[in-house]
Amino acid sequence: MVAAHRSVLLSRLHRLRRSLSNGESICIDFSETEKMVADGTLLFLAELLRLVKHSKGQLNITCVPPKNERVAQVLQQIGFFSLLGVSNDVVPRDDDVVNWRFAHGHKVEGEHYEDVLAEYDGDITPELQETLFKGITEAMTNVLNHAYSIPRKDGTSITNSKEWWMFSQAKDGDITVAFLDLGAGIPGTLPTTKPRLWEKFLRFGKKHDSRAIQYAVKESISRTNQLHRGKGLGQIARVIDEIPHGEMAILSNYGALSRVGSVMRRKDYSDSIMGTLILWKIPLPSKETAW
């Protein structure tokens, strides 16, 4: 997400949560929306599904459909219209829309890998499939063990149920996989889940969320090297280790840690996604290509 678009989306999600708490009716206006990207769309859909589920039918939401047909196709493809009970006869048909896949769960459920990535069998190598499977199931494990260990503090009365949401999309020769939880975030949970690491982190000055993510990843990789097995954020970060031109990003609360090749970058924002979003972008090789 571009920073400006991120701020607009997060402010709208804040209003959604506030409206739920206040019992207000909501109208989501898509009339001028021109584009939807995987990470922002997943965050929006997950928040909406969470609010609808926990409102127990008390949340009154309507929408103004988009003028842009491709955006309408995306909303149809991800089940947005049916979620709100809105009638819309648009049929998803564009390649970069029909390839969107969605999964949702609250356990470590490896079978959901098939829901979002099975169609790429034969297009990506067995080694990459295994690596992706490990990264995704490790992200699910982190959700169960850490993400919801403390309250989210989002202004709602929702009791966390350790849910996660996942997208995949094939576009322009790349597969993008996005995995999200709406927990307390890596920087939020580190003081309780990794107290020694948090104490070490505090010795080095300002508590930027991006640096907290970086510390957590480095600690996990170090532990992985010692134990000769992939676990935690280290496994998630290493999905792209052997993939030329692969990209990875971990966004959590106010911070982001991204990696392209061997280059790591940190960035901090003025607003929080209130959760953790993991992105992998992987080039689709030809079937003759071996990594």
Q: Which residues of the chain have pLDDT under 70?
A: 57, 122, 160, 204-206, 222-231, 285-291
Q: What is the CA radius of gyration of the chain?
A: 19
Do 264 and 141 fall within a single domain?
A: yes
Confidence at residue 178, expressed as pLDDT on a 0 to 100 scale:
94
Confidence at residue 225, expressed as pLDDT on a 0 to 100 scale:
52
Do 144 and 90 fall within a single domain?
A: no
Confidence at residue 279, expressed as pLDDT on a 0 to 100 scale:
95
Q: Read off the tokens for 252.
A: 């959590």
Helix (H) or strand (E) holding 98: helix 95-98
Do 170 and 256 fall within a single domain?
A: yes
Do 208 and 146 fall within a single domain?
A: yes
State how many domains the chain has: 2
| Angstrom distance (rounded) from CA 136 to CA 250 | 13
What range defines the domain where residue 15 resides? 1-98
- Residue 63: helix, strand or coil by DSSP? strand
Do 60 and 134 fall within a single domain?
A: no
Q: Note whether 213 and 255 are within 8 A (CB).
A: yes
- Residue 271: helix, strand or coil by DSSP? coil
50 assigned to some structural domain: yes
C-alpha closest to that of 46 among 146, 161, 135, 217 = 161
| Angstrom distance (rounded) from CA 171 to CA 32 | 23
Do 94 and 135 fall within a single domain?
A: no
Do 188 and 279 fall within a single domain?
A: yes
Do 125 and 94 fall within a single domain?
A: no
Do 74 and 175 fall within a single domain?
A: no
Do 71 and 144 fall within a single domain?
A: no
C-alpha distance from residue 38 to each of 10, 45, 99 (Å) = 15, 10, 11
